[in-house]
Structure 1
């Protein structure tokens, strides 16, 4: 199982790195792409290197897309190429996972219509779905997380959907969750 994550400068470190770590512990292959085809520095100064260039992403290689939050969401949302990727994932009924500010990208593009979701509470708008005040909400193939504090639960929700309850349970036991 392979998933892709898209980041750029201003990404929320805990949401990106924490989700990555949970999924890798659960044997999910995670490729992290840089929107700008270069290293990306998070909002608190951690720089991620050796990222894959977004200009070379191949949607057909992945079963899930992950959008961490942080101030980066503005640049991610403004990218026509990211919007096209999201559209392709939706049309092919693949998983779309977003946390904190990330779900607003899906919401403004219409993918949360008639869906249950969560996001950073103060960023909730009328996305045409039902906002749920929980750390993580899964509705079909859309998995949303509320905030940085929800990162571990978000990672486990994705892991459970992609690899099953056994992988989720074993990974939780491994980290004494």
Structure 2
């Protein structure tokens, strides 16, 4: 089973971060949440997450999968050279990077969506050199992308399947009476 790290900062989309975290934890996966600013982070709608791990202490070698929730936080994440370096570490190692809503645009701007199928918040789609899909969640190689807040459950289950396998994902879907994909 893969070990996951997630990055948040002020302006994160709560449903994308908390919903994904909850589904992954239901599936028995370890998920550590790091704060870009090494302090509490307050989401778009005022939910403050405390006891987050400091991003300055994040060691990519300890994790198999990176999750990037969307929301207005994507601007701060994209402005951070350290975030780009972290994504590069994961990509260079062939580890999975999962991003939802505005998050995939960071991957697109860094060139990681070239030649790949992906999705993101529709109005933020640019010519990233890949194939944009209308699906709620898309996996292409080691990149998982999600469309929007409404896609959180589909996105989280695709991440869970990557992290823990189809059997665990299917068991977790059954446990919450999920009838989607």
Normalised-by-shorter TM-score class: over 0.9
Residue deviations 1:21-50 (CA, integer Å, cap 9, x gap): 000000110000000000000000000000
Provide the rounded CA distance (Å) in 1 between the counterparts of 2:46 and 2:11: 9
SS at match of 2:120: coil
> Which residue is 1:123 aligned to?
124
Provide the rounded CA distance (Å) in 2 between the counterparts of 1:66 and 1:158: 9
> Which residue is 1:9 aligned to?
10
**Cα distance, 1:162 vs. partner?**
1.4
> Which residue is 2:42 aligned to?
41
User: Aligned pair 1:149/2:147, yes or no?
Assistant: no
**Cα distance, 1:161 vs. partner?**
1.2
Normalising to structure 2: TM-score of the pair? Answer: 0.97
Would you say how many aligned residue pairs link Structure 1 and Structure 2? Answer: 177
Root-mean-square deviation (CA, aligned residues, Å) is 0.4
Structural mapping, 1:1-177, within 5 Å? 1-177=2-178
Normalising to structure 1: TM-score of the pair? Answer: 0.99
Provide the rounded CA distance (Å) in 1 between the counterparts of 2:29 and 2:94: 19
SS at match of 1:32: strand
Runs of 4+ in 1 over 2 A off after TM superposition: none
**Structure 2 portions without partners, runs of 5+:** none
